[in-house]
Amino acid sequence: MSPAEAQKRIGELRREVARHDELYYRQAKPELADFDYDRLKAELAGLEKLFPEAAHAVGDDTPTARVGDDRTEGFVRVKHRQAMTTLDNTYDETELREFHARLARALGTDALAYTVEPKIDGVAVSLTFEHGRLTRAVTRGDGEEGDDVTANVRTISGLPAALKGKPLPELIEIRGEIFLREEEFRRINQLQDESGEPAYANPRNLAAGTLKQLDSRLVASRRLEIVLYGLGFCTPAVVGSQSAFHDLLVAWGLPVVSPFRLVHGIEEVWAAIQELDRLRRGLPYATDGAVVKLNAFEQQRHPKIGYRGMAADGSVEAARKLSPRWACAYKFAPDRAESRVRDITIQVGRTGALTPVAELEPVLLAGTTVKRATLHNAEEIARKDVRIGDAVLVEKAGEIIPAVVAVLLEKRAATSRPYAFPRECPVCHTAAVRGAGEVVWRCPNPRCPEKVRRRLEHFAAKGSLDIDGLGEEMVALLLERGLIQSIPDIFRLTVEDLLPLKKSGEVWARNLIAGISARRTADLWRVINGLGLPQVGAAAAKDLARTFRSLEALMAAREEDLLRIEGFGEKTAAAVLGWVAEPANRALVDELLAVGLKPTAPQATGGPLAGKTFVLTGTLPSLTREEAAAKIEAAGGKVSGSVSRKTHYVLAGEEAGSKLEKARALGVPVIDEAEFRRLLA
């Protein structure tokens, strides 16, 4: 490569890396997988080192000399007392061993102690405790100053407001990572699906977007979690090593990373990394690597170690240009597999969202056979230039959702043509629409057969009215025969309508009609959930049912009524108000009431468990979780999905998981089924 070519390529790479930094840190909408981003940045760093004059000709401002900047509008900016630096990454065992060799030469000994811990794929944050009390939480920002997100961080149930035990420094900055568990990520995406909204790409993006919400009530509803692992500014000093600091965090009652290993020498470091690689898919959070740190703080501060870019006087000021020489991140190569796009199909959601899906040649990926992968939306297809017939790399985004991450252009057929995203619904052929500021195309036709089918299926499904016998196949058959066209038609069905549909005759028909009739008095929350209000899933439907106690009252809801509900923010309130104001939805509710739907309101007050919040975990001797939850709610209590200081009881069975540990750490009473039955009595 000539200097002129290098100069041109350096300019291109700087612009591209800067664009991806903006997408990742500020918008929480990355377009590249970490592996591909790291390769892009490594190429830039290599060219800048090989062609310094060409790099200088482009300019001195380069993304290789700074950390990403997550600061956004709407937040107060706060300067860190000690800079928040970033780690150097490696995917290579040889580079890891060179990291150890450099430290051994600087310290004059090969017998070095290290800590090895998971690299959590979350959002970096710094917590300040003064005399043991949490006073501030700040994002990494540009390394020197970040956004004050204290109000949002205080909603994290597993984070105590004060440290327990001693020694307690006058002031300490503790660094950590905010994340979402995979089960919570799936729950929120299920709500997105129930609301007809597109799914979030991965837990890290969702955690980052949630932390930067201006409405703390919405943040609280998302169940963020945190682990702490790093020491920033501290006065007076309290410990002398990373392992001792980890033990002190535990003693203070703070959540920490696990598994955490203290090892000696590079061979034990490599063994610990390999063990973590084997264990990582069983961890409750997404981890994309291992963090290796020199254990002794005195060795970290050695003049020949310290930080890259550190000033001559030893000061650590320009955080955007720093990375510690005493630590590195070994990144696991992502699980990827090559497949071929057989077709691109468009799914029509209950709200009309048109979601493209790549139909793939079956391929084994992370232990499962993948046949389909999300393409997210029209812009994503165009950006990656995914075409039918392409050879592609498929990756499980956040190790959860299969996604197409790259097209293998060298294997593309000469006859290939760009994919044209349909501008009409593939089912009813109505022209698709896209709202201002949205990337999702939708079918606006309320009578679109696919939208109607999906709405009917949702209304009859287990999480809604739970009408036994009215599954996907039966809904499709009833639509095909013209026996139903809308939700109220379900309650107009007769035995005579059903007799021609099955050979099993009158018994089956009478059972289904009896099942439908019994659901005329279904719980109010089930009806609300079945109606599919945007931003409202089962949990929010129960909150609405407890608040309004009838469909008529819900249809007369005011914003102030909705905002008083715990976990309801302005966005959710606006979505509910928009739905109830729609004439078609008001007509639907009126029609349901006219055909005899009389939902059962929850108990207003009273009951042996009134005002009590329960969390369920493990397997109970004689009750399913659904049965236990029903008994709690029938007795006036509430069931939550996560343990917090507001939890009154954790009902635990066999093989109880992390919720049991969290309850014990917070001092929440843990009861078994026998004690639960005594409370009911």
Per the residue annotation, which of 29, 41, 79, 119 is the catalytic one? Answer: 119
* For residue 30, cis peptide bond before it (omega within 30 degrees of 0): no
Tokens linked to 307: 């930080």
Contact 623/673 with Cβ under 8 angstroms? yes
Distances (CA, A) of 374 to 357, 359, 451: 5, 9, 20
- Using CB atoms within 10 Å of the CB of residue 536, give its burial: 0 to 12 exposed, 13 to 18 middle, 19+ buried: buried
Return the SS3 of 482: coil
| The residue type at 310 | M
119 catalytic residue (yes or no): yes
First to last CA, the chain: 81
CA distance 283 to 296: 28
Of 325, 322, 360, 356, nearest to 342 by C-alpha is 360
Contact 229/246 with Cβ under 8 angstroms? yes
CA distance 72 to 212: 8
Element (H, E) at 449: helix 449-460
What backbone phi and psi angles, to 5 degrees, belong to 387? -130, 155
- Residues 6 or more apart whose CB falls under 8 angstroms from that of 611 comprise 636, 637
Distances (CA, A) of 530 to 578, 582, 589: 17, 17, 12
Of 92, 91, 107, 104, nearest to 266 by C-alpha is 104
| The residue type at 176 | G
Provide the greatest CA pair distance for the chain. Answer: 91
CA distance 589 to 555: 9
| Residue count (the chain) | 681
Contact 277/118 with Cβ under 8 angstroms? no
CA distance 617 to 649: 11
Tokens linked to 103: 């430290």
Q: Please report how many Cα atoms fall inside a 13 Å half-sphere around the Cα of residue 311, on the Cβ side.
A: 8
Q: Could you please report the per-residue DSSP string of 19-30?
A: HHHIIIIISS--
Of 209, 220, 256, nearest to 72 by C-alpha is 209
Of 293, 307, 290, 260, nearest to 100 by C-alpha is 293
The residue whose two tokens read 């021609």 is: 500
SS (H, E, C) 483-542: CCCCHHHHHHCCHHHHHHHCCCCHHHHHHHHHHHHHHHHCEHHHHHHHHCCCCCCHHHHH
Give catalytic residue positions: 119
